[in-house]
Amino acid sequence: MAQVSKIQTQTAATPTDILARMAQIVQAHAVDVAPWALLGLSEFFDLVRGGNYIREPSSWRTQVLARPSLTISKAVPIVACANKGIILASWAELNKIPWRLVAVGRAPGLPPHHVFPEFYMGGVWRPVDGTYPWSVLFAAKDYPVRVVFDPHNLPPALAPVPKRGAFAVTPWQRSVGTAATRGASQVAR
């Protein structure tokens, strides 16, 4: 039987509370993704985005957060953006890539509705949102509401947020595969 005690449910929590709890889970349980740690980012991203997406019912008013092993083994009934973000950030943690978590929303005055990690690569933060099967690695995310939780506390001057239209393709990005490069340049237009 699943270790249900490892599932953290946040009721009426702030976005920062949820992001902080996600970061705690990543830092405590990143080893859960060790069997996949040697995969390249593009390969691992494809695995995560290809997994089931099951959102919390809106009537719950809760956020289900689980350690990566419970999500991967399907021991939790919910595999939404937060749990996929935890898995991706855990991969970054094992691979010593600085990461942070971002909550975003479409309307000022309303709470964020979506979360994803960003990885610090090539001198900028890159969105790594593997929530949906159609997600594209490094696709720009333009939302008017944005809450960032950075467990590494990188100074903002060292960690700019990529802007639409200002997305440069780095040699590293070219090496992770043409699909990621094609997706990034399509979004940056």
DSSP state of 107: S
- Beta strand 114-121 with 62-65: parallel, antiparallel or unpaired? unpaired
Q: Is residue 70 one of the residues assigned to a domain?
A: yes
Residue 52: its pLDDT value, please?
86
Residue 11: its pLDDT value, please?
57
The pLDDT of residue 82 is above 80: yes
Number of folded domains in the chain?
1
Q: Is residue 21 one of the residues assigned to a domain?
A: yes
10 Å Cβ neighbour count for 45? 24
75-79, 103-107, 136-140, 148-152: least confident range: 75-79
DSSP state of 156: G
CB proximity list for 28: less than 8 A, separation 6 or greater: 67
Q: Is residue 118 one of the residues assigned to a domain?
A: yes
The pLDDT of residue 166 is above 50: no
Q: Is residue 136 one of the residues assigned to a domain?
A: yes
For the chain, state the CA radius of gyration: 16
Q: Is residue 101 one of the residues assigned to a domain?
A: yes
Tens digits of residue pLDDT in 169-179: 333 333 433 33
Residue 151 to residue 134: CA distance in whole angstroms: 28
Burial of 36 by CB count in 10 Å (0-12 exposed, 13-18 middle, 19+ buried)? middle
Residue 104: its pLDDT value, please?
95
Q: Is residue 44 one of the residues assigned to a domain?
A: yes
Average pLDDT value for residue range 70-89? 90
Burial of 59 by CB count in 10 Å (0-12 exposed, 13-18 middle, 19+ buried)? exposed
Which residue do the tokens 């270790």 mark?
3
- CATH for 14: 3.10.620
Residue 56: its pLDDT value, please?
77
Domain that holds residue 95: 4-161
pLDDT, the chain, mean: 79
Residue 54: its pLDDT value, please?
87
Q: Is residue 80 one of the residues assigned to a domain?
A: yes
Q: Is residue 184 one of the residues assigned to a domain?
A: no
Residue 109: its pLDDT value, please?
86
**Single-letter amino acid, residue 150:** D
95: confidence class by pLDDT, cuts 50, 70, 90: very high
Average pLDDT value for residue range 180-189? 35
43: confidence class by pLDDT, cuts 50, 70, 90: very high
